Amino acid sequence: MADAVRAVVSTRTWSEADWADFLAAELAAPVSVVYTRSRKVPVATRPLREPRGALEVRLHGHFAAAPEDVRGALASWVRSGRRAPRATARLDAFIAELLRAAPPVAARRALASRGSHHDLTRLAGELYAGELATEFGGDVERPVIGWGRRAMGRARRSLRLGSYDGDGRIVRIHPVLDQPAVPEWFVRYVVFHELLHAVFPVERGADDRWVHHGRAFRRRERAYPDHRRALAWERAHLAALIRSARTGAPLRPPREPLWEGPSNRPASHPTRGPGVLRALQQLLFPD
C-alpha cells in the first residue's frame, strides 16, 4: 500500500497559496484555497461575495502532495463538474487511495465547551431535550461539542461560525461568538445548525458536487423558531464579527433590539424570500 501511495503523490509540496495561484490561472478568476481535514468532503467549492467571480476551494490536506495530473484534473472538475468524466475519475482515484492510507484519527485535543460567556454543553442539552429531541432520542450518539481555536491576523472576507466533523462527530463553534455582545439565542441557533449536520450528512448533487445543505436540511432548519431572527442578526453584525475575529477586539453590544415581536417574523424587516435567506445562510455557514 505504501508503494501505491508514493506512486500517486508528488515529490513537491503545494501550499494553499500555490494551489490558489494555479487554479486562478486555470480558471481565469480569483481563487482562495483552504486546507481541511475533512474526509467526508475532501473537495468543496463555493462562490465568494467579492471580488466578483471569486471562488473558495477547500481541499483535504493530502492535496499538498498532489501530482501534476491531479492538479489538472481538479481544475477541470471545478470548471466543468460531471461534464469532465476523466477528471472526475482521476480525482476519485487519488482521493480514495490517499484516504485509505490515512485512516481517520481521534480529535487531537479535548474541546472546552464552557466559554467565558456561553456554555455550549448546556445549549446543546437544551436542544436535545427540545427542538432535537426526536433526532437525538434513545441511544443516538451525540456529537462532542466545544469552542474552536482562535486565529487572529488573517485577512477575512467571510467567517465560518461553526463546523461539523463527521468522522469524529465533533462540533466546533468559532470563539468569536463567546462574547457578551453575542446573544445566547444566536449561539444556540449556531449550535442547532451544526448538530443538524449529524442528522443530515453531506450528499452528492446531480452535478456530482457535494451538497452540505440539502432540501431536507433546509426544511428542518427553517422550522427552528429563531431561524429568521438569527439570519437577520447575522446580516446586521457579520462585518463586526469578521473584524472581531481578525483583530481580537470585542464586539460592541447593539444599542437597541433588532426587532420586537415573534422571533420567526421580525416586525421591523420585511419577510424575505427563500433565495435571500439561503444567501444569508451561505455567509453564516460556508461549505
In this predicted structure, which of 122-131, 176-185, 277-286 has the lowest mean pLDDT? Answer: 277-286
The answer as to whether 153 is a domain residue is yes
Distance of CA 119 to the CA centre of its chain: 21
Give 17-36 pLDDT, tens digit per residue. 999 999 999 999 999 998 88
Look at residue 261 and tell me whether its pLDDT is greater than 80. Answer: no
| Residue 249 and residue 137 share a domain | yes
> Which is it for the CA torsion 111, 116, 117, 119, positive or negative?
positive
Mean pLDDT of 55-78: 91
pLDDT band at 159 (very low <50, low <70, confident <90, very high): confident
What's residue 241's pLDDT? 93
The answer to whether 224 and 196 have CB atoms below 8 angstroms apart is no
Distance CA 221, CA 242 (A): 24
Q: What does the pLDDT read at residue 46? A: 83
- C-alpha to C-alpha distances, 215 to 82, 198, 219, nearest whole angstrom: 21, 15, 6
**Residue type at 241 in one-letter notation:** L
| Same domain for 278 and 158 | yes
pLDDT in tens, 144-156: 999 998 776 555 5
Domain shared by 124 and 96, yes or no: no
Between residues 109 and 73, which one has the greater pLDDT? Answer: 73
Same domain, 230 and 177: yes
Average pLDDT, integer, range 52-60:
88
pLDDT value, residue 80: 87
Q: Is-cis flag, bond preceding 270, omega within 30?
A: no
The model carries a pTM of 0.60
Residues 19 and 128 both lie in one domain: no
Task: Report whether 61 contacts 34 (CB < 8 A).
Answer: no
Per residue in 95-139, pLDDT (tens digit) is 888 777 666 655 445 689 999 999 999 999 999 999 999 999 877
In a domain, 169, yes or no: yes
Banded model confidence at residue 70, pLDDT cuts 50, 70, 90: very high
In the predicted model, what is the mean pLDDT of residues 37-59? 83
Q: Give me 109's grid cell.
A: 485535543
Number of domains the chain contains: 2
- Top-confidence residue, 107 or 65: 65
Same structural domain, 8 and 86 = yes
What b/e sequence results for 201-238 when a residue is b if at least 16 CB atoms lie within 10 Å of its CB, and e otherwise?
Answer: ebeeeeebbbbbbeeebbebbeebebbbbbbbbbbebb
Give the domain extent around 83.
Answer: 2-101
Same domain, 57 and 152: no
In this prediction, what percent of the chain has a pLDDT beyond 70?
76
Residue 5 predicted with pLDDT over 50: no
pLDDT at 28: 92
Domain end marker among 38, 68, 101: 101
Among candidate residues 224, 204, 208, the one with its CA nearest the CA of residue 264: 224
The CATH number assigned to the domain holding 212 equals 3.30.2010.10
